Structure 1
């Protein structure tokens, strides 16, 4: 089998790679005669063409002879090669309208598409993801934003750091007053957030102490779903019921907003579930949060101040508390500064790519030699130009009927 590493074509460009030069070299050595690679030449990757060449990996201009084409982000329609097998993040399974034409083209061109997002183990847990790195960069960017807003310290941007070690060095500049940071989410994204907060020496406290105790140092707490959702009828919480019928619950996050200075949103949100707060709530004098790092970046989602994604080039915008309108970043001291970059891991592309490649080596590469592979079959949205049974629900979406 010959695998081709795609030149990322989406705009803005993504610097990440599915496999690093060292990882490909090791795979070719481990699977001599069974597995080979070609890397499509690119000037934007975090790992340069010469690094692949130095590792003994072929760098070419044409990867059309490869059996499997492996990338990161959505492949632009003009770059799709007919009748090929692809794997990348397609962002189509939730019927994302922006990628309808991509899925239509994949079907028209007879392409078999696997999606990293739906690669899962026997327990249904995702096996390959960049979540931890979204958490790491998102938390760092939240601290960067607070430094800019308060004027207490000045950090490099995350993408200006060569790797996570340099980012850790930058964090030594952080000097926080006795503020409180509230975090939602304890999955891989949340774990990445906590890694950064621990790196700067912050103490984690219980939700009760967070709400009711004064500290002479900066502290943080991590909220679970039960901490800020309650049943409308009696204020109770049942996990199974909440995930099955989130619409019968309401948020009581505002009590945390009253005592928090920074909010880092790292929890998955179901659109049937209540928002954390409503936009009008920020007009209250009791709403104390001044910086929101929304890693989830769900527009019109759980964090209503996220009115659109921000970008690496323009990472922060403010929401005026009085008018509820968007204003330029740090436009008013009293406004809420929102960091909502929707592609955070690409700010630390070398580290994120290496971690992702290790996951691929562990969970995906062995499956390529199984025929059939239940894992890869489940992760297949299309096969030879047809929707697979599990994703037949996308038919109306593809046809433009919804």
Structure 2
């Protein structure tokens, strides 16, 4: 552990307010002998002064490109387009193993530089369970935005808030119409978060998981007003919504929130849209409501960094789980599996790995 140097980078996405490590957990790492460098960041929810007080070194935003060769760079979302060759080991959500757009280009950058991606989505235990995840908050916010959209109270652009403030906006107000909701993937982390948000809003959702989706009751799905997808598919499965379903005369469904956002992947269970939505434009209309038509309009919410809308709460929970894994960073166990999965993805794309360093 005394030789480990972690480098917490600034996030290039302007709406990314989270951090994978909060100062209190940074202190745990420093006290254990880890060198921790933290880049300055204008949007990170926690100020750089708190990291300094925890014993971290401070560096300018984006300086990871010239970090010591053995430093392990840690972040959350996408890297900038440069440099073309990635020489470090990077820990972040790469979204590169399901043939997503840009995946091959990212992996080739690692191969060209001799670095490696340790993807947080694949940091799992011996049984394949995620060891650090934002799932609860993704589901909570997905359902919360769906409720606000259904009730006509979703205002754009979205801005970060606190759970206390959000809960207040979710509570049923005079004049709010009742509506029905269904959560698919209800037993997972994201599904649990979605259920909590719906109940805060005074809505008891229909809860479906594997048993209910092996033979999907599509008419029953379309008969709900709101649908939140919280399924993270690992193998291709039949889609939950198809284009023809959107024009089904019996469709009552008006609001869909795709928490998973596997758009562009062969694992996408909602292949009815081709691009995500964002904080500036959180809702995309998939179907209009022509005059005198029995069809309601159909709106989609598909934001791929939902937990950043509650950056303090989601960062604190994620960091508490991740720090336990970083304290055991090494070539075996979960981190070794991450490296193996990266190399497998490279082979699947026919990429020559080059001289990868070992974790």
Question: Could you say whether these structures have the same fold, taking a TM-score greater than 0.5 normalized by the shorter chain as the test?
Answer: yes
How far residue 161 of structure 1 moved from its aligned partner, in angstroms, is: 4.6
Q: Secondary structure at the match of 2:98?
A: coil
User: Partners of 1:141 and 1:163 in 2: how far apart?
Assistant: 14
1:127-176, Cα deviation, whole Å (9 max, x unpaired): 1121111101101110111122xxxxx36679535322222222235564
> Could you state the TM-score of these two structures normalised by the residue count of structure 2?
0.83
1:303 aligns with 2:262: no
The change in CA–CA distance for 1:74 and 1:279 in structure 2 (over 3 A counts) is: same
Please give the alpha-carbon distance, in whole angstroms, between the structure 2 residues aligned to 1:391 and 1:278.
29
Tell me whether 1:17 sits opposite 2:22 in the alignment: no
User: Does residue 1:225 correspond to 2:210, yes or no?
Assistant: yes
- In the aligned structure 2, how far is the partner of 1:270 from the partner of 1:360? 22
1:353 counterpart (309, 315, 323)? 315
- Tell me the matched-pair count: 337
- Conserved in 2, the CA contact under 8 Å of 1:18 and 1:71? yes
Greater mean deviation of Cα atoms: 167-176 or 17-26: 167-176
Does the alignment pair 1:254 with 2:256?
Answer: no
Q: Determine the structure 2 residue equivalent to 1:188.
A: 189
Q: Could you say which structure has the greater relative contact order, defined with CA pairs below 8 angstroms and 6 or more residues apart?
A: 2
What corresponds to 1:287 in structure 2?
251
Q: Where do residues 16-165 of structure 1 align in structure 2 (5 Å cutoff)?
A: 16-29=18-31, 31=32, 34-61=33-60, 62-63=63-64, 64-65=67-68, 67-79=71-83, 83-148=87-152, 154=153, 160-165=159-164
- 1:93-128 Cα offsets, whole Å, 9 max, x none, are 223341322211111111133111111111111111
Q: Which residue of 1 aligns with 2:287?
A: 320
Change (3 A) 1:103 1:193: same
Query: What 5-or-longer segments of structure 1 have no aligned partner?
Result: 149-153, 204-219, 231-250, 324-331
| Aligned-partner Cα distance in 2 for 1:322–1:271 | 35
1:267 aligns with 2:231: yes
Q: d(CA) in 1 for partners of 2:28 and 2:333?
A: 26
Q: Deviations over 1:251-288 (max 9, x none)?
A: 43222322x11111112346742222432233333111
CA RMSD of aligned residues (A): 2.8
Go from structure 1 to structure 2 and tell me whether the alpha carbon gap of 1:272 and 1:4 turns closer, same or farther (over 3 Å shift). closer
Aligned to 1:208: none
Deviates more, 1:180-189 or 1:61-70: 61-70
* Unpaired stretches in structure 2, ≥5 consecutive residues: 354-359
Does the residue aligned with 1:396 lie in a helix, a strand or coil?
Answer: coil
Q: 1:311 to 1:356 in 2, by over 3 A?
A: same
Among 330, 338, 348, the alignment partner of 1:379 is 338
* Contact 2:160/2:311 (8 A) holds in 1: no
Q: What is the SS of the residue equivalent to 1:264?
A: strand
